[in-house]
Amino acid sequence: LAGLARLEGVILDNNEITDLAPLLELERLESAEVENNPVTAESLAAFEAVFEEMGSKGPGILTEGEVPVLPGDSRIAFVARWGNSAGLYVTQADGDRPINLSESHIFNLAWSPDGRSIAFSASVKGNTDIYLIYGDSYRQVRLTDHPKVDSNVAWSPDGEWIAFTSSRSGDNEIYVMRVDGSDMRQLTESAGHDWSSSWSADGEWLAFHSDRDGDNEIYVMRVDGSDVRQLTDNEVGDFSPAYSPNRGWIAFSSDRDGDNEVYVMRADGSEVRQLTDNEVRDIGPTWSPDGALIAFTSGEDYESYGIYAISPTGGQPVEMIDHSGAESNPSWSPAGGSGFEPVVEQIFFADEALQRAVRQAVGKTSIQALEETDLLGIEKLKVQNAGITDLGGMERLQALEELDLGNWSIIKEVDGQWMIDSSKSQSEQWNQIRDLSPLAGLSKLKELNLSQNPVGDISPLAQLTQLTQLSLVFVYTDDISPLSGLTRLTHLSLNSEYIDDISPLESLANLEELTLENCQIKDLSPLAGMDQLGVLTVSGTEVWDLEPLTELEKVRALILVNNRIDDVTPLALMSGLVRLDLTNNQILEIVPLLELENITSIGLKGNPLDEVAREVDIPALRGRGVRVIY
């Protein structure tokens, strides 16, 4: 073969070849397949330094089953949802040094062939158009402006044209335009929807997917829209074709095995190979500049997506970006691209996630340096589920009045029971705050949420005397004495299995709403003087005696769920009650509840009510229009 000077591609799979050296003499050879040959290690090493098994010339051949090694000198642009932040990011291919370029609602993107700009589709004020951002100045330019949706951008290899999908003609068709938005041309006009174009390396062909035959298939056409050819033909969906750097192969996504997986095939539609095989969606494949890797989006949905890379010969995928959040729509930078460097800024906060959240709060991305003056005007900061562990630097936010550092979970119903949806709770990106000392000097703070953080010591809160609202739900604290001096509190939520004494709350006479859940308390007498209470929740405790509540005349809603209450007599004196929930207690008799003239709703499920309660008292209440749940 060494004498075949014009040879551009060769397939030598399943033979007895031990030495590949003759192939190194073929200057035009762009692709070579040598699977299942007894090649010596020395010969394979020499071959790996020059060729890849699929794609153009380049280093880093990956044998089947090998875990790919991510190139440290390459970069990836992608869409991310990290905590409260979402938008267009650029990072090293191994996930290091992420840069936030835009906070817009980004749908997809593509790096220019020279690496100096990124085209992307974004929704701004409800309108989805094509934009361009330049790496040297971070200047953004709007290329299209149409009430219909423009998306799915793809650059021509010479960097002169951008192909995209638009619904401006009524259904989705493929268009091209120059990089300044001029000379727009419609290439397809089918009865179906045409999507997701990709240019061949020689700039002569565009691959796309279309449902013109009833389901989505892969097609190619000349760049003027002529000579349309169908490459796949089946009863399932084939999507998002991507030409390899040497035009020899096309990667695509297909649901032919029941869910979306990544496949490759030759550019003529032959030799289809499945690369991934799992129970989630693998979509949007894109080739690395040297053709040695294919990056793709993988996950159940947009909240769990991640970006992975795999060899075009198959094997084990590797996660490219190990970050607490969701990432999708990767686009590789070309070799040697410049720009999109992070701005050097002063580090104000010990935790990078907190610095990022504060930057976002003042309307800046990571291409805009955070300044000391920015910190002085922040009055509200909400950073839920942001992966924050250290509050160091928070003392700088002296104007802060509202701070939300809580975590949240998505709840779903399973077999009639409500529980946390572990597939979406993403606890790896929850805040994990333990030390509250940086908050002690925030003298203007009025509202604070620390729910679902592993907080034990709350003594720094004693200095926050302006607090009016405080939430400590699912925390580890056992000593709430630091709260005794927070007499301006009007709303307080406590949920900790370690709390067994609420006497420090006795001084909080201005409370209007109080929640005590999953505590080891038995005595409610510290609440007796809270004459401003309108809503009181005591749930999951050891409480059985309700006598201390009889003087709370302003209470309109009383939730006493999952306690040890067996006597409701004291409640007869709480004439202002409108809503009462006594679910899951030990109540037999409910006669005293007939005295509640203003009551509209009573929950009694899970109680061993006697026959009189069931047959006489409940019908009597319902006869008055009271909603009784039993």
Chain centroid, CA 289 distance in Å: 27
Stretch 58-67: mean pLDDT: 40
Number of domains in the chain: 4
Q: Is 312 helix (H, G, I), strand (E, B) or coil?
A: coil
Give whole-number Cα distances, 344 to 98, 352, 366, 369, 629, in Å.
13, 14, 9, 7, 61
Q: Do 295 and 203 share a structural domain?
A: yes
pLDDT grade for 462, boundaries at 50, 70 and 90: very high
Q: Do 248 and 299 share a structural domain?
A: yes
pLDDT grade for 62, boundaries at 50, 70 and 90: very low
* Sequence-ordered alpha helix ranges (H) in 318-453: 352-361, 372-376, 422-425
Q: Which residue from 218, 219, 195, 221 is spatially nearest to 121, judged by alpha carbons? A: 195
| Sign of CA pseudo-dihedral 594, 597, 600, 603 | negative
State yes or no: pLDDT of 513 exceeds 90. yes
Contact (Cβ atoms closer than 8 angstroms) between residue 110 and residue 133: no
Stretch 190-195: mean pLDDT: 91
Q: Which residue has the higher pLDDT, 535 or 17?
A: 535
Bridge pairing between strands 273-274 and 261-266? antiparallel
pLDDT of residue 60: 32
Q: Which DSSP state fits 614?
A: I
Stretch 300-313: mean pLDDT: 87
State yes or no: pLDDT of 563 exceeds 50. yes
Dist CA 207 CA 221 (whole Å): 7
Residue 370 within any structural domain of the chain: no
Which percentage of the chain shows pLDDT scores above 70?
Answer: 89
State yes or no: pLDDT of 86 exceeds 60. yes
pLDDT grade for 158, boundaries at 50, 70 and 90: very high
Q: Do 498 and 567 share a structural domain?
A: no
For 397, the domain range is 379-521
* Sequence-ordered alpha helix ranges (H) in 362-501: 372-376, 422-425
State yes or no: pLDDT of 58 exceeds 60. no
Dist CA 364 CA 79 (whole Å): 17
Stretch 188-209: mean pLDDT: 94
pLDDT grade for 610, boundaries at 50, 70 and 90: very high
State yes or no: pLDDT of 464 exceeds 50. yes
Report the CATH number that the domain containing residue 429 is assigned in CATH: 3.80.10.10
Choose one of 277, 305, 332: the last residue of a domain.
332
State yes or no: pLDDT of 85 exceeds 80. no
Contact (Cβ atoms closer than 8 angstroms) between residue 94 and residue 332: no
Q: Which residue has the higher pLDDT, 166 or 107?
A: 166
pLDDT of residue 315: 85
Contact (Cβ atoms closer than 8 angstroms) between residue 307 and residue 288: no
- Both tokens of 59, joined, read 């280093």
Residue 489 within any structural domain of the chain: yes
Averaged confidence pLDDT in the chain: 88
Q: Do 164 and 263 share a structural domain?
A: yes
* Residue with token string 């979509």: 283
Q: Which residue has the higher pLDDT, 522 or 59?
A: 522
Q: Do 428 and 293 share a structural domain?
A: no
State yes or no: pLDDT of 205 exceeds 90. yes
pLDDT of residue 243: 97
- Both tokens of 122, joined, read 């974004």
Stretch 290-298: mean pLDDT: 92
Q: Which DSSP state fits 191?
A: S
Report the CATH number that the domain containing residue 83 is assigned in CATH: 2.120.10.30
pLDDT of residue 70: 64
| Helix or strand holding residue 622 (H, E) | helix 618-623
Q: Do 573 and 517 share a structural domain?
A: no
Going by C-beta distance under 8 Å and a sequence separation of 6 or more, which residues neighbour residue 515?
Answer: 473, 492, 493, 494, 495, 537, 539
Dist CA 272 CA 263 (whole Å): 7
Q: Do 576 and 463 share a structural domain?
A: no
Residue 472 within any structural domain of the chain: yes
Stretch 146-158: mean pLDDT: 96
User: With a threshold of 0.75, does the pTM exceed it?
Assistant: no
Q: Do 488 and 567 share a structural domain?
A: no
Burial letters for 39-62: b for 16+ Cβ neighbours within 10 Å, e otherwise?
beeebbebbbeebbbbbbbbebbb
pLDDT of residue 84: 54
pLDDT grade for 447, boundaries at 50, 70 and 90: very high
State yes or no: pLDDT of 8 exceeds 80. no
Q: Do 603 and 468 share a structural domain?
A: no
Stretch 282-299: mean pLDDT: 93
Residue 516 within any structural domain of the chain: yes
Residue 242 within any structural domain of the chain: yes
Bridge pairing between strands 229-230 and 579-581? unpaired
In terms of residues, how long is the chain? 630
pLDDT grade for 61, boundaries at 50, 70 and 90: very low
Q: Do 391 and 324 share a structural domain?
A: no
Stretch 421-433: mean pLDDT: 63
pLDDT of residue 204: 95
Give whole-number Cα distances, 385 to 300, 357, 452, 455, 540, in Å.
19, 11, 10, 15, 26
pLDDT of residue 157: 96
Dist CA 474 CA 461 (whole Å): 17
Give whole-number Cα distances, 623 to 236, 558, 589, 616, 627, in Å.
59, 22, 18, 11, 9
Residue 488 within any structural domain of the chain: yes
Stretch 451-477: mean pLDDT: 96
Stretch 22-42: mean pLDDT: 77
pLDDT of residue 427: 46
Q: Which residue has the higher pLDDT, 275 or 93?
A: 275
Q: Is 424 helix (H, G, I), strand (E, B) or coil?
A: helix
Residue 349 within any structural domain of the chain: no
State yes or no: pLDDT of 529 exceeds 90. yes
pLDDT of residue 408: 78
Residue 529 within any structural domain of the chain: no
Q: Which residue from 264, 261, 161 is spatially nearest to 218, judged by alpha carbons? A: 264
Stretch 577-606: mean pLDDT: 97
pLDDT of residue 74: 75
Stretch 416-423: mean pLDDT: 50
Q: Which residue has the higher pLDDT, 238 or 368?
A: 238
pLDDT of residue 413: 52
Contact (Cβ atoms closer than 8 angstroms) between residue 507 and residue 486: no
Q: Which DSSP state fits 54?
A: S
pLDDT grade for 324, boundaries at 50, 70 and 90: low
Q: Which residue from 511, 523, 521, 474 is spatially nearest to 494, judged by alpha carbons? A: 474
pLDDT grade for 403, boundaries at 50, 70 and 90: very high
| Helix or strand holding residue 623 (H, E) | helix 618-623
Dist CA 212 CA 219 (whole Å): 10
Dist CA 175 CA 368 (whole Å): 34
Choose one of 460, 487, 521: the last residue of a domain.
521
Going by C-beta distance under 8 Å and a sequence separation of 6 or more, which residues neighbour residue 35?
Answer: 13, 14, 53, 64, 313
Contact (Cβ atoms closer than 8 angstroms) between residue 248 and residue 55: yes
Stretch 27-50: mean pLDDT: 74
Give the pLDDT confidence of 367-394 residue by residue, as tens digits.
678 888 999 999 999 998 888 999 999 9
Give whole-number Cα distances, 445 to 401, 442, 570, 615, in Å.
4, 6, 38, 53
Q: Do 305 and 240 share a structural domain?
A: yes
Q: Do 205 and 304 share a structural domain?
A: yes
Stretch 313-339: mean pLDDT: 82
Dist CA 405 CA 199 (whole Å): 46
Dist CA 97 CA 136 (whole Å): 17
